[in-house]
Chains A and B, each alone.
Chain A
């Protein structure tokens, strides 16, 4: 047993990837789902094991094949990603429990083995993105996750053929983003001769004056990662991809895919780039901050005009990613802390919202639009109230975890005396009320007196787990804040200071 535990950092990535190969050949949806669940339960146990060994021994660097870091590929589990690792592991388990019924109704039964296989591939590769400490290895995981998610999105073609166009657009834009990232890696490798993140930081100090090739390389890498994490204005692939994918798939990606890449994005920014303070400040203040503010407004305003609820949520994701990058663009501990808090909270909120909307989608057997859900608050009360809780949290009502995020973002802005930005963020929160209110109005205040129908516990229990955790972390926010402060401290310290 001990041998397995020693290799836990590798196993959390390798296990889903290996099982994916087996699941692809299983024709029975039930058995495929069961194997997936067992794998993910082991995944959660391994993550807990990682947490305990992190809390007793500190950061873990796992070297593949015992090759020492500059030569071999290594994984790093430190304060930055331990929190996300736990959240990721727990969330994918809940999402998979939820996914069974959704897959049954949205995907052909004979395809479901392959669907679970792609699902596991996406999980394994996203976990790789979270853990990897090697810039080229990241590219490989980025592409595995992109290809598996594109295939999953195109499975949505069973219900709506637009899914194919969404998948194709994502493929093209995603591949351009990934190739930009590789160009950046090429420049960085040419200058430093290393691909390992820790070694890269050390090697870059010899160019502390700053070299054009390094700045070019870093810019390519950052732009590539911004495409992948859908930072405005490179977000165009995201709304169609999330809204036409099968509901379970949008849940997984809306909650976790962009977040995993954002974690790596801030690693590059704050760990590797911290030696080039001038360039970093230039990038944060004149590029990331304005783009985040525009993203918040554009995302929110487009969301207000959407009829299709999955599209509405996808545009609201653009705005929420804007909040996260806004927090990260404040170059001090409080800002980075707020960014991490919002990553955790938004993953729960958006995951919950997409789950609830996904249930409405399979019971409607059609697109979920504002018109079609009229009165569904009475018809599906259990799901609708969970949706209400997640939505209130998205707006940032007290007692929900969304409030905690907003609180920390405002606090960080206040400490740094960015009062104009505070006003803008407050305004955008008010705008977010509009689009969410439209949903609530249709759901609950309708004259169509539907009788409550019986809902499927296999679907509403996972949704309510998320909804309850949203309230729990809204009241007892200390665990999320602790993880975030560990993350922000180790990120700021991670660079050479």
Chain B
């Protein structure tokens, strides 16, 4: 989690920021899935031999969250593409320089 957050904050490159975001989100997903694990638990299928099973709900939630994460990354990359077309760069400090020049 923290390494993903660290990348988002420190990285100057917009694509790296999105990668950081993906790492951050994925680690939260893993956290959720780990909540569901029960020792000796199996898949939640009703049969006569197993009566201990993992909680399927967090998995389902994370399935939704993964979709959201993919959409976020896709939209982010689409915007980065547009930024590149408009500014000719995807480095935050270079774009800030361009902005400063424009303002003066």
Decide yes or no whether A171 CB sits under 8 A from chain B.
Answer: yes
Interface flag for B32 (CB, 8 Å): yes
**Shortest beta-carbon distance, B1 to chain A, in Å?**
8
Choose one: A151, A164, A165, A176; the contact of B8 (CB below 8 Å).
A176
- Interface pair B95/A165, CB less than 8 Å apart: yes
Q: Please indicate which of the listed interface residues B21, B28, B35, B72 has the most CB atoms of chain A within 10 Å of its own CB.
A: B72
Q: Does B24 contact A (CB under 8 A)?
A: yes
A198: B residues at CB distance < 8 A: none
- A175's contact among B21, B31, B79, B82, by CB below 8 Å, is which? B21
Interface segment, one of A29-37, A179-187, A282-290, A477-485:
A179-187
Interface string of B92-104 (1 = CB under 8 A from A): 0001000100000
Q: Tell me, yes or no, whether B68 is within 8 Å of chain A by CB.
A: yes
Measured between alpha carbons, how far is A154 from B31 in the docked complex, in Å? 32
A190 to B34, CA, bound (A): 10
The reply to whether A172 and B83 form a contact with Cβ atoms under 8 Å apart is no
Q: Is B71's CB within 8 Å of the partner chain A? A: yes
Given known pairs A140-B68, A143-B68, A171-B72, the reply for A183 and B28 (CB within 8 Å) is yes
Q: Which residues of B contact A147 (CB under 8 A)?
A: 71-72, 75
Residue in A closest to B8 when the chains form the complex, CB atoms: A172
Q: Is A161 at the interface (CB under 8 A from chain B)?
A: yes
Chain A binding site: helix, strand, loop or mixed by DSSP?
Answer: helix
Kindly state whether residue A168 has any CB partner on chain B within 8 Å.
yes
- Fill in one digit per residue for A173-216: 1 if any B CB lies within 8 Å of its CB, else 0: 00110110011001001100001000000000000000000000
B residues less than 8 Å from A437 (CB atoms) = none
Q: Interface readout for B70-100 with A: 1 if CB under 8 Å, 0 if not?
A: 0110011001101100110000000100010
Q: A140-B64, A167-B79, A176-B5 are in contact. Are A157 and B86 (CB under 8 A)?
A: yes
Is A189's CB under 8 angstroms from B21's CB?
no
Q: For residue B61, which residue of chain A has the nearest CB?
A: A136
- List which B21-35 residues lie within 8 A (CB) of chain A: 21, 24-25, 28, 31-32, 35
Residues of chain A with a CB closer than 8 A to B83's CB: 164-165, 168
- Complex: A143 Cα to B76 Cα, angstroms: 13
Report B-chain residues with C-beta under 8 Å of the C-beta of A161: 86-87
Report A422-458 CB contacts with B as 1/0, cut-off 8 Å.
Answer: 0000000000000000000000000000000000000
Do A164 and B31 touch (CB < 8 A)? no
A126-180 CB contacts (< 8 Å) to partner B: 136, 139-140, 143, 147, 150-151, 154, 157, 161-162, 164-165, 167-168, 171-172, 175-176, 178-179
Find out whether the CB atom of A176 lies under 8 angstroms from the CB atom of B86: no
Bound together, the chains give a CA A157 to CA B61 distance in angstroms of: 35
Note all chain B residues with C-beta closer than 8 A to A189: 35, 58
Query: What residues of A have a CB within 8 angstroms of the CB of B76 in the complex?
Result: 168, 171-172, 175
Q: State how many residues of chain A have any CB contact under 8 Å with chain B.
A: 27
Determine the interface band of chain B, counting residues with CB < 8 A from chain A.
20 to 34
In this complex, what residue of B is CB-closest to A173?
A: B8
Within 8 A of A (CB), among B6-31: 8, 14, 17-18, 21, 24-25, 28, 31
Chain B residue nearest to A186 in the complex (CB) = B32
Q: Which residues of B contact A182 (CB under 8 A)?
A: 28, 32, 65
Complex Cα spacing A352 to B25, Å: 38
Chain A positions within 8 Å of B32 at CB level: 182, 186
A171 and B18 alpha carbons, distance in the complex (Å) = 9
CA distance A161 to B82 in the complex (A): 9
CA distance A178 to B25 in the complex (A): 10
Inter-subunit contact B8/A168 (CB<8 Å): no
Which of B1, B32, B58 counts the most chain A CB atoms within 10 A? Answer: B32
Give B83's nearest chain A residue, CB to CB.
A164
Question: Separation in Å of the A217 CB from the closest CB of chain B?
Answer: 11
A176 touches B21 (CB 8 A): yes
Q: Are A150 and B86 in contact (CB under 8 A)?
A: no
B-side contacts of A162, CB under 8 Å: 99
CB distance from A236 to the nearest CB of B (A): 13
Shortest CB-to-CB span from A152 to chain B, Å, is 11
Q: Is the CB of B79 within 8 A of A164?
A: yes
Contact pick for B82, options A140, A154, A179, CB 8 Å: A154
Complex-state Cα separation, A154 to B61, whole angstroms:
29
Kindly state the separation between the CA atoms of A378 and B5 in the bound complex, as whole angstroms. 52
Quick check: B68 and A151 within 8 Å, CB to CB?
no
- Interface 0/1 of A236-264, CB less than 8 Å to B: 00000000000000000000000000000
Q: Which residues of B are found within 8 Å of A165, using beta-carbon distances?
A: 83, 95, 99
Interface residues of A in 330-383 (CB under 8 A from B): none
Complex alpha-carbon distance, A176 and B28, angstroms: 11
Docked complex Cα distance between A182 and B5 (Å): 15
> Chain A residue with minimal CB distance to B5?
A176
A168 x B14 contact (CB < 8 A): yes
**Which residues of B sit under 8 angstroms from A151, Cβ to Cβ?**
75
Residues of A contacting B58 with CB < 8 Å? 186, 189
5 nearest CB pairs, A to B: A161-B86, A143-B68, A190-B35, A164-B83, A168-B79
List chain A positions with a Cβ less than 8 A from chain B: 136, 139-140, 143, 147, 150-151, 154, 157, 161-162, 164-165, 167-168, 171-172, 175-176, 178-179, 182-183, 186, 189-190, 195
**A–B Cβ pairs within 8 angstroms, 14 of them:** A140-B68, A143-B72, A157-B82, A162-B99, A164-B82, A164-B83, A165-B83, A168-B76, A168-B80, A175-B21, A179-B24, A183-B1, A183-B28, A186-B32
Known contacts A172-B21, A186-B31; 6 additional CB pairs below 8 A are A139-B65, A147-B71, A168-B83, A172-B18, A175-B21, A183-B31
